[in-house]
Amino acid sequence: MEYETALKNYENQQEEIQHHKRFIDRFRASAARAASVQSRIKMLNAMERFQKPEKPFTLEFEFPQCSHVSGDVISLRNVTFGYNSKEILLNGISQNIGLDSRIGVIGANGAGKSTLISLMLEQLKPIKGDVVRNRKARIAVFTQHHIDQLDLSMSPMDFLLAKFADDCRSLIYLFIVIILSNNNKQYIYNIEEKRPAEYIRNKLGAFGLSGEIVNQRMVFLSGGQKSRVAFTILTWEIPHFIIMDEPTNHLDMETIDALIGAIHKWNGGILVVSHDQHFLMSAAKKFWSLSIKSGTIEEFVDLGKAKDFASHRA
Ligand SMILES: Nc1ncnc2c1ncn2[C@@H]1O[C@H](COP(=O)(O)OP(=O)(O)OP(=O)(O)O)[C@@H](O)[C@H]1O
Q: What is the pLDDT of residue 186?
A: 47
pLDDT level of residue 289 (50, 70, 90 thresholds): very high
For the segment 32-53, what is each residue's pLDDT rounded down to a tens digit? Answer: 999 999 999 999 999 999 988 8
Q: With a threshold of 0.90, tell me whether the complex ipTM lies above it.
A: yes
- In angstroms, the CA 313 to CA 199 distance is 50
Identify which of 105, 109, 113, 248 to mutate to test ligand 1's pocket (most ligand atoms within 8 A of the CB).
113
Measured from CB, residues less than 6 Å from any atom of ligand 1 are 83, 89, 107, 109-115
Q: From atom 17 of ligand 1, which residue's Cα is the shortest distance away?
A: 114
pLDDT digits (tens, 9 = 90+) for 193-204: 456 788 889 899
The vertex-105 CA angle with 103 and 109, nearest 5°, equals: 170
Nearest protein CA to atom 29 of ligand 1, as residue? 110
Mean pLDDT over residues 292-307, rounded? 88
Asked whether the beta carbons of 265 and 160 are under 8 A apart, the reply is no
Q: How much is the pLDDT for 115? A: 95
Model pTM above 0.95:
no
Burial of 116-144, coded b for 16+ CB within 10 Å and e otherwise, reads bbebbeeebebeebebebbeebbbbbbbe
